[in-house]
Amino acid sequence: MGLPKEKIPQHWIEAMEFNANLEIPVEWKPAKKATWRSGRGWYDYDRRGTHYHILLLEDFKFGRIKRKFGEFLCGSKITDRSTHEVVNLKLDLDPLMNKRFKVTCPKCLERAEKIGGMIR
């Protein structure tokens, strides 16, 4: 018994489909804000309850929205740049896995929808 190893849980599939529908014309991935917490390991960057943003992996310009590689679409400030770079930009072990996290930031989603509407 048990699930086959390659079986992808339903909520991952849903998240990946949700993300695939976001019309972002450059490479991106869902990511949380990362902040170093002293006395703990690098692995403990994950803050519960924070949103998943759209993290742009290329320079991006669309209408009045202008972002650089490594910035969030909503413009949310990156408060801890070095941790952000390590966790969100260098620690990319499996790009496909990243897409299983549903984007939850309302501002990112609002912008994505706007961009999608302008592309179509």
**Residue 8 vs 65, nearer CB to Zn ion:** 65
> Residue 94: which region, alpha, beta or left (left: phi > 0; alpha: psi -120 to 50)?
beta
- Rule CB under 5 A: say whether 16 interacts with Zn ion: no
Among 105, 109, 112, 115, binds Zn ion (CB under 5 A): 105
**Residue 9 vs 66, nearer CB to Zn ion:** 66
Q: Is the dihedral of CA 55, 15, 63, 33 positive or negative?
A: negative
For residue 25, give every residue at least 6 positions away whose Cβ sits within 8 Å of its Cβ, in sequence order, or none: 60, 62, 115, 119
| Spatial contact of 56 and 28, defined as CB atoms under 8 Å apart | yes
What's the full length of the chain, in residues? 120
User: Which of 27-35, 60-68, 85-93, 102-110 is the region at the interface with Zn ion (rule: CB under 5 A)?
Assistant: 102-110
CA end-to-end span of the chain: 47
- Rule CB under 5 A: say whether 74 interacts with Zn ion: yes
Among 22, 108, 112, 115, binds Zn ion (CB under 5 A): 108
Among 33, 53, 84, 99, binds Zn ion (CB under 5 A): 53
User: Which of 18-26, 63-71, 98-106, 110-118 is the region at the interface with Zn ion (rule: CB under 5 A)?
Assistant: 98-106
